[in-house]
A and B are shown apart, each in its own frame.
Chain A
Amino acid sequence: MRPRPPNRRSLRFALCVALGAAVLGLQWLRTAEHGVVGPIDTEGRRSAAVATDEFTVEVTDVRVTGTVTDTSGLAPQPVEANGVWVVVWVRVTATGTTLDATSAELVMADRTTYSPSLWFRDALDGDTAFPAAVPVHGAFVFEVPEDRLDRPSLALTHVGGADPRLAARATVGLGIDAADVAGDRSGVTLTPPERRPEEAAEVVRG
């Protein structure tokens, strides 16, 4: 058999390499399943309300403290943190239907996530209901090792409903800096979540 001219052979070789690279490149472009069905994120900062399709969340205050007191019990006792408590006061307004199940997380800059402490009845948790169009004030309480507290954000996801896929999630940068961490460490006393229908107009106007 007559050998093929070398330039044609190298052309085929180059074509194979190019196709191999294209396969790898297209694989890299493939979206992970989490990216297809995961929550739809809306990001914002502490200074302004962050609006998703299903709710609006506004961080009204953030405190880093050593003790938290819950007033719901008969004899309120301050609870010390193994690290620090990060108390995040929010105003959440459901804009569509009532939110019956939410998931709150404190997300650090390195994506390490913390879930709220369940020790305080006055704090907001995943079972707090947010009625439609009624702003609710309350606090999420997180316990975090002090050295891990690095540019945290509050991520609030509506996980209720029949299908948790493509849930609405708001991520609010808390803007905590070293001064906040080193500053006033006096204890925080929680108050129960409060519904404030009179503020509904204010939230809608945004």
Chain B
Amino acid sequence: MFQGTCPASPVEFLFVVQHADADPRRSRLLPADPRRRVGIVVATGVLSVVALAAVVAFGGLEPADTRTGSLPPGTELDTLRYRVTPLCAEIGRGESGPEVRIRVDVENTGSEPLEVSHIGQTSRFVLEPGGTELAGPPPSLRLVRHPNGPVTRLQPHMPEAAVLSLPVEDSGQLEGPTDLVMTVHRSERISASGDGAPLWVRGALVAGSVTLPLDGG
């Protein structure tokens, strides 16, 4: 606000030059008429409400990445491309050595088949305590209802009970840890070149982190 004592800034100086006869205590931003002042305040309020309603109408603001804390088993994580509910984890022996098996409920919520590799791409597996990340070969997926059938794609809108198998290259990593933390990132769609089909990659936001007790360790 202009106080009329020390016209230091260029704006105030301009004001003084152009309106030398005006009352220097009067605000330059709001009109003198009280009714017009009220009108401006009301109009600002209405505009704010309209803007807020427009934001809500278009889906609101994206929530901040708040779900980075650890969640209990059985929590559904939504990546916006698929939904996965980690239920329990155990250490087993696969064809090529020890593996961590995670029983999950999973559903492709998109409109196209989902490559199983995308589940591996959007998930990270860390053994606790110790913080060792299982960053070996990508996990494979088998369905509980037909465990012998290979699954490379999940079909849209088909909820499945499945087992994610995570090969462990160094079996020493499994001595000690009691928990497995599965962190699932949001999926992000990018447009690829070539035939123009969209590509799904791991997004920066985390859908959630679930801590599973590791059985058989």
Contacts and interface: CB of A to CB of B under 8 A. Distances in A.
A32 B155 contact: no
A82 B111 contact: no
Interface centre among A83, A112, A143, by most B CB within 10 Å?
A112
Given A38-B196, A118-B150, A148-B157, A113 B191 contact: no
Contacts of B145: 80, 82
Given A82-B145, A118-B149, A144 B196 contact: no
B59 to A, nearest CB: 21
Contacts of A82: 145, 158, 160
A30 interface: no
Interface in B181-201: 191, 193-197
Interface string B98-121: 000000000000011100000000
Contacts of A33: 191, 193, 196
B196 A34 contact: yes
A161 B193 CA distance: 17
Contacts of A148: 156-157
A165 B196 CA distance: 9
B70 interface: no
Interface of A: 32-39, 79-80, 82-83, 110-115, 117-119, 142-145, 148, 164-165, 167
Interface of B: 111-113, 145-146, 149-153, 155-158, 160, 191, 193-197
27 contacts: A33-B191, A33-B196, A34-B197, A35-B196, A36-B196, A37-B194, A37-B196, A38-B196, A82-B158, A83-B158, A112-B112, A112-B156, A112-B157, A113-B111, A113-B156, A115-B113, A115-B155, A117-B149, A118-B149, A118-B150, A118-B152, A119-B146, A119-B149, A119-B150, A143-B155, A164-B194, A167-B195
